[in-house]
Every structure is written in C-alpha cells, then in structure tokens.
Amino acid sequence: MIDSNAEVIERIAEEGFIYCKGDATHDKCLIEAGVKRAKGVVCVLPSDAENLYVILTAKELNPNIWILSRSEDEASEHRLLRAGADRVMSPYTFGGMRMSMAILRPAMLDFIEITTNRASLELRMEEMTVCEGSSIVGKTLEESEIRLKYGLIIVAVKKDSGRMIFNPLRTYMIERGDKLIAMGEDENVARLSRVCLA
C-alpha cells in the first residue's frame, strides 16, 4: 500500500500490511513499492487524473502488470481503460447496484455477502488458478472429485481467454490456467487451493 497520510500509514502498520509512505504518482515511490515485480496494482486515488498517471507509469515500468482502477465518473472509464487499466470500477455505480439489489433481490444480496465476507464462517466463494502439475489438470470435474472430496461447488470457470463458463457440466475438462470459482466452507476452499497449486 502506498499512502502519504501519516494517520493512514499508522493504521496500515497496525494491521500488519506492507506499506510505502509517499506519493503514488511519483515513479520513485512506485519502484520502491515493487511495481516492477508486482502482478497487480489497485489505483484508488481521489481523482481520475491521478489514477490515470499511476496507470501510465505502472504500465511503463511493468508492461505485464494487471491494473484495477477506481473512476469518479463514467466519462473517465474509457480513458482509464485506454491508458492500460484492465478493469475500471466506479464506487458510485457499484454502491448503487448493491442498493438496488438490497431492495429488489435481498436474499441474493445476503447470499453474496455471506460468500464474500471474510468474517463469515458459513460459506466462502474463492477464485483459484489451476497450475501446471496440479493433479486435477486433464480430469473432468467429476473425475477430480472436487464435490466428493472437498464438498465444494464449482460455480464457474474462467478461461485464459477471458471466457466465463457458468455452472460447468461434470464432463468439463479442467485445463492448466483455468480459474475455478469455488464455493464452500473456508477450510475446504483452502484445501482445493493447495491442490490447484501443486
């Protein structure tokens, strides 16, 4: 995390997060924070102009970096994507969608909050990448026995191409690089995550 506010830095340090005190729009600070070896960057500066500058700098220093950026308004979204952001989110749009879901589909919102909230002990929904050498590569979902061994439901599979397969059939063949979106108890999700890595 990069921040110039001393109070924020103090809270970050108390939480045990790695941080860099400084201005994220300065190349030196991004380099010090490890942008050249990072897999991803989340840009949440208060203005779209600042986020745009960080995106351009991060991509220049590390062309393969994945970038998620916050945007103030829809008009800026296209510019941020063109500058190199892989995904752009507006907190206002996202918040509005959640509020409308709370009214129109309250049970669905409860489900999403239960499966994505780290404090919840009931269910967890997690994304895990199947690495080369994993024992489940080349097996169908049924052959992998994910449901039997771990009690998990594979909600979706995201391919390297970006294509999303929702509710994959038991005959779906697991491939290296697949991102499995699994739902179940925390401990079982962690166990499958280890299998995907090994």
pLDDT tens digits for range 70-127: 999 888 999 999 999 999 999 888 888 889 988 998 888 887 787 776 665 567 889 9
Is the same domain home to 52 and 133? no
Domain, as residue range, for 36: 2-93
**For 172, which DSSP code?**
P
**Contact (CB, 8 A) for 141 and 154:** yes
**Where residue 156 sits, what CATH number does that domain have?**
3.30.70.1450
| Average pLDDT score over residue span 18-22 | 88
Number of domains comprising the chain: 2
Could you tell me how many residues make up the chain?
Answer: 198
Answer yes or no: is 99 within a domain. Answer: no
pLDDT at residue 28 greater than cutoff 90? yes
**Where residue 14 sits, what CATH number does that domain have?**
3.40.50.720
Answer yes or no: is 108 within a domain. Answer: no
**Contact (CB, 8 A) for 184 and 151:** yes
pLDDT at residue 63 greater than cutoff 70? yes
Please say which residue of 93, 108, 142 terminates a domain.
Answer: 93
| Average pLDDT score over residue span 144-162 | 94
Is the same domain home to 128 and 85? no
Answer yes or no: is 139 within a domain. Answer: yes
- Rounded Cα–Cα distance for residues 104 and 99 (Å): 9
Q: Please tell me the predicted confidence (pLDDT) of residue 5.
A: 87
Q: What percentage of the chain exceeds 90 in pLDDT?
A: 65
pLDDT at residue 62 greater than cutoff 80? yes
Is the same domain home to 67 and 148? no
- Rounded Cα–Cα distance for residues 189 and 65 (Å): 27
Is the same domain home to 86 and 125? no
Is the same domain home to 13 and 82? yes
